[in-house]
Amino acid sequence: MYAFKDVALVTPGGVIENGVLVTEEDRIRALGPEADVPVPSQAQVIDGQGMYLAPGFIELQLNGGFGEDFTDNPDSIWRVAAQLPRYGVTSFLPTIITCGEDTLNHALRALRRGRPADFRGAVPLGLHVEGPFLNPAKKGAHNPAYITAPDARRAADWSPETGVRLVTLAPELPGAHEVIGVLRNNGVVVSAGHSMATYEEAMEAFSDGITYGTHLFNAQPPLDHRRPGLSAALLRARSVAVGIIPDGIHVHPAMVDLAWRAKGPRGLTLVTDAMAAMGMTPGEYRLGDFTVTVDETSARLADGTLAGSILTLDAALRNLMDYTGASLVEALPCVTSTPASVLGLANVGVIRAGAKADLVLLDQDGYVVLTMTGGDLFYQRGKLNEPAE
């Protein structure tokens, strides 16, 4: 049992200053103003010194990190997960890019085996399967050898129960309508991406059941005032949330601000699309079947194509604040409650009694000071996988 005191609690109803929050096992037991919430005598007390206590961050698109690539080696998912709390991430979707069926099945087995006995870290919520039903004209860093037409039979067994939580596809392709229907019936979130869809095709796909857009502006036709295309449809559709990579490279800061103004905190999720070089030094790393050259700011194929990012989710949050002028409290839903809503999850991404005790303590500039996952407090600034003092 832990008790946070003197924290600014970021709750759905607003910020509670001088707040207290008590956890018991893996749940939030109680929270509120200091005068209303007694601190149990058996609780380990953590003095927040007036900093923000927010829900743990949720990452919807992560290809790997710390030298590991999920598509190249799906068994690395748990090793990467163990290090993500240093960036405030408490749950995430390991992303498998376009690959052969054997590789995807390997990743599903890795998840079904469950966490190693000694595991402590962020929780994989299921896979984000990015491909293979993509438009070859917008393949990005995906191997064209594995890109195929949408096939409802291939997707028939994909579900959260089998390990698939989100699928990115190009909705304009023949057969996409049937695949969208199958996936939605299975409870999978369907996202539009790596696509040449027209505005009209995109809006029709939203009616079919697409509720998310993968890395807005990237691997999509550019905005055009006469042919608005997928990006404009995603910006306009109130029923559809979007992911965006705010690293200043994938998307210009002005366009991040435009997306913020159009979608707001309830329609915008921050993703990193990070690859194996996240948390590492410049050099050469893997992304699926390709070798990627990484410098201080970007990851690219030999022809200059962007191949994921080296962004971290806490840096993405700070960048959003910088690009838009949003406050920390205004920006936080983009990495907490909004991605939880995209996935239809009620007990993560929120601070309330009974919710999972996934928490992150942030200073006023949005830097991670401490992270708790499922009531397990094991990251403190400068210390990873160690009990906080």
Q: Give the active site residues.
A: 273
- Closest listed residue to residue 64, CA positions, set 84, 43, 50, 44: 84
Amino acid present at 111 = L
Please give the span between the terminal C-alpha atoms of the chain, in angstroms, as a whole number. 14
How far is 22 from 4, CA to CA, in rounded Å?
A: 6
Q: Which of helix, strand or coil describes residue 167? A: strand
Give me 104's structure tokens.
Answer: 């995807």
Q: Are strands 123-124 and 89-97 parallel, antiparallel or unpaired?
A: parallel
Give me 164's structure tokens.
Answer: 């698939």
Contact 376, 120 (CB under 8 A): yes
Contact 119, 82 (CB under 8 A): yes
Contact 56, 358 (CB under 8 A): yes
Q: Report CA-CA distances (Å) from 119 to 77, 199, 355, 376.
A: 11, 45, 22, 11
How far is 321 from 377, CA to CA, in rounded Å?
A: 27
Q: Which of helix, strand or coil describes residue 213? A: strand
Q: Directed axis angle between helix 253-263 and helix 313-324, to 10°?
A: 80
How far is 7 from 54, CA to CA, in rounded Å?
A: 10
